[in-house]
């Protein structure tokens, strides 16, 4: 407890409310600008590109920048699984896009992009067409179910804030039912299967453990918690395959101590309302399945008349330019780089770096200067393992356990980037030291 309180005090004192120098905004509106740069997607890659463009052309009356996204907020994806345990409020992981870009002189329109007319330089949306001179595509990705029968219908796709909240509410529903039925529980009612041994799946099952055993146990005295079963299905031979093996091994031991059953070298063949069927025909009776395995490009990418790889991702060169489409760049989970460098992981830090480099190369193109090849620099990996544990690998320094959890909180609090959100998240964590998270089922459609 003292360690947590000290960490909270330390975080408060690290300048969370530091004021940034007020940016110099772009000097012209998008419709009136001689040169129009359109950014599609308000995630890490799109926002990084927009902010770099705004700073590069600060005060200019020659360049206008506009961003299109189907939602009016940006999500801090690394914290999404934490919404399951409830130690962070869902709304504190989102930030209005307009508040980010309006001070920069850029503009925003909430619209869903459906296609791009590259010949006439128009982006097609549900609100009509948007003209552009230069275009940066950063539409992100969605979950792929790898052909598993019934997965899309019966599994919860752990991709966004609504999904994490649905996982939380589904767990609450199961315990309400178990409290009511007492000794007559259907098989698998209190079994929770998470599919995917990457960071999202591992964090999801760890946060589900915290919700069940640290939060709900006192609320459901008639439920036999020994009947609870947490299962993590992983297609590879170990979880967290992109993490240092020593840290992945530490995660395996910690999850085992949390009563999480890890099934390696197994793929899900079918998801039913009351069971999960593996590719070796093993059946896991379960009324709740959460999918956190694999991604594919956003739906709009399928319609684009551009070169794509075998997984449907946009092919870009080493400068992040879309092949065969002059003046068009693409970044983030939807792209694959055709260059001599190593594969770039589908991570937030990679998307941010790509967004910045694409914006700088676009500016260089406009000025007749030479672009620079994209070089990904890994800053490390962080994986949350619940309230008192995390894995951190930052610039080669590897830490796990409680110290890892404190570092995880500190790094992500800094990376959150917005002072109001930082204060809100910090307050959530401090309150969580003294009180159990609320279990009201709110914000249900």
Task: Assess whether 274 and 300 both reside in one domain.
Answer: no
Q: Looking at the domain assignment, is residue 66 inside a domain? A: yes
User: Would you put residue 312 in left (φ > 0), alpha (ψ -120 to 50) or beta?
Assistant: left
CA 24 – CA 104 distance, rounded (Å): 7
Q: What is the CATH number of the domain that holds 214?
A: 3.50.50.100
Residue 244 lies in a domain: yes
> Three-state SS for 103?
helix
One domain, residues 289 and 308: no
Q: Specify the pLDDT at position 386.
A: 80
Q: Which domain holds residue 53?
A: 31-70+111-143+296-367
Write down the residue that tokens 């296609």 correspond to.
115
Residue 18 burial by Cβ neighbours in a 10 Å radius (0-12, 13-18, 19+): exposed
Among 367, 392, 416, the domain-final residue is 367
Tokens of 388: 């008192």
* Non-local CB neighbours of 377 within 8 Å, separated by 6+ positions: 353
Tell whether 256 is covered by a domain.
Answer: yes
On whether both 280 and 412 belong to a single domain, the answer is yes
State what percent of residues in the chain have pLDDT above 90: 67
Q: pLDDT tier at 242 (50, 70, 90 boundaries)? A: confident
Domains of the chain: total = 2
Give the pLDDT score at 393: 87
Tell which of 311, 340, 367 closes a domain.
Answer: 367
Residue 18 has pLDDT above 50, yes or no: no
Pair 277, 419 in one domain: yes
CA distances from 151 to 155, 164, 195, 266, 277 (A): 5, 17, 10, 15, 10
Q: What is the DSSP string of 305-365?
A: -S-B-TTSPEEE-TT-BBTT-TTEEE-STTEEE-SSSPPPPS-HHHHHHHHHHHHHHHHHH
CB atoms within 10 A of CB 218: 8
Instruction: Please tell me whether residues 131 and 212 are part of one structural domain.
Output: no
* Any domain includes 86: no
pLDDT in tens, 374-423: 999 988 888 888 877 888 888 788 888 888 888 888 887 777 766 667 78
d(CA 91, CA 421): 9
User: What's the mean pLDDT in 74-101?
Assistant: 84
Give the chain's largest Cα–Cα span. Answer: 75
Co-location of 397 and 322 in the same domain: no
pLDDT at 148 (0 to 100): 97
Residue 116: DSSP 8-state: E
Per-residue pLDDT band at 83 (split at 50, 70, 90): confident
């Amino acid at each position: 407890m003292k360690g947590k309180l000290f960490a909270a005090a330390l975080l408060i004192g690290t300048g969370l409310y530091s004021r940034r120098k007020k940016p110099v905004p772009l000097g012209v509106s998008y419709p009136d600008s001689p040169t129009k740069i359109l950014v599609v997607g308000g995630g890490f890659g799109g926002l990084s590109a927009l902010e770099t463009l705004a700073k590069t052309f600060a005060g200019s009356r020659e360049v206008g920048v506009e961003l299109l996204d189907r939602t009016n907020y940006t999500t801090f994806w690394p914290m999404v699984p934490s919404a399951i345990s409830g130690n962070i409020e869902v709304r504190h992981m989102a930030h209005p896009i307009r508040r980010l870009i309006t001070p920069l002189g850029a503009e925003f329109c909430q619209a869903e992009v459906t296609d791009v007319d590259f010949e006439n330089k128009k982006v097609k949306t549900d609100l009509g067409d948007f003209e552009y001179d230069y275009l940066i595509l950063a539409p992100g990705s969605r979950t792929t179910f790898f052909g598993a029968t019934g997965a899309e219908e019966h599994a919860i796709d752990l991709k966004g804030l609504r999904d994490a909240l649905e996982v939380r509410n589904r767990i609450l529903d199961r315990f309400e039912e178990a409290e009511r039925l007492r000794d007559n529980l259907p098989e698998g009612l209190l079994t929770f299967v998470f599919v995917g041994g990457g960071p999202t799946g591992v964090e999801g099952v760890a946060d589900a453990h915290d919700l069940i055993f640290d939060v709900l146990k006192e609320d459901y005295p008639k439920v036999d918690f020994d009947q609870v079963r947490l299962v993590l299905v992983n297609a590879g031979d170990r979880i967290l395959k992109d993490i240092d093996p020593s840290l992945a091994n530490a995660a395996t031991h910690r999850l085992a101590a949390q009563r999480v059953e890890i099934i390696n070298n197994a793929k899900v063949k079918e998801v039913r309302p009351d069971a999960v069927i593996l590719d070796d025909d093993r059946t896991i009776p379960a009324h709740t399945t959460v999918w956190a395995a694999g991604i594919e490009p956003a739906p709009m990418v399928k319609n684009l008349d551009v070169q794509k790889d075998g997984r449907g991702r946009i092919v870009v060169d080493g400068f992040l330019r879309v092949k065969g489409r002059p003046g068009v760049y693409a970044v983030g989970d939807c792209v694959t780089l055709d260059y001599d460098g190593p594969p770039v992981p589908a991570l937030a830090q990679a998307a941010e770096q790509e967004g910045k480099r694409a914006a700088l190369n676009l500016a260089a193109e406009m000025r007749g200067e030479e672009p620079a090849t994209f070089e990904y620099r890994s800053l490390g990996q962080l994986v949350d393992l619940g309230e008192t544990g995390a894995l951190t690998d930052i610039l080669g320094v590897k830490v796990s356990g409680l110290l890892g959890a404190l570092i995880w909180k500190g790094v992500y609090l800094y990376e959150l980037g917005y002072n109001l959100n930082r204060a809100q998240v910090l307050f959530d964590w401090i309150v969580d030291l003294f009180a159990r998270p609320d279990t009201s089922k709110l914000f249900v459609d």
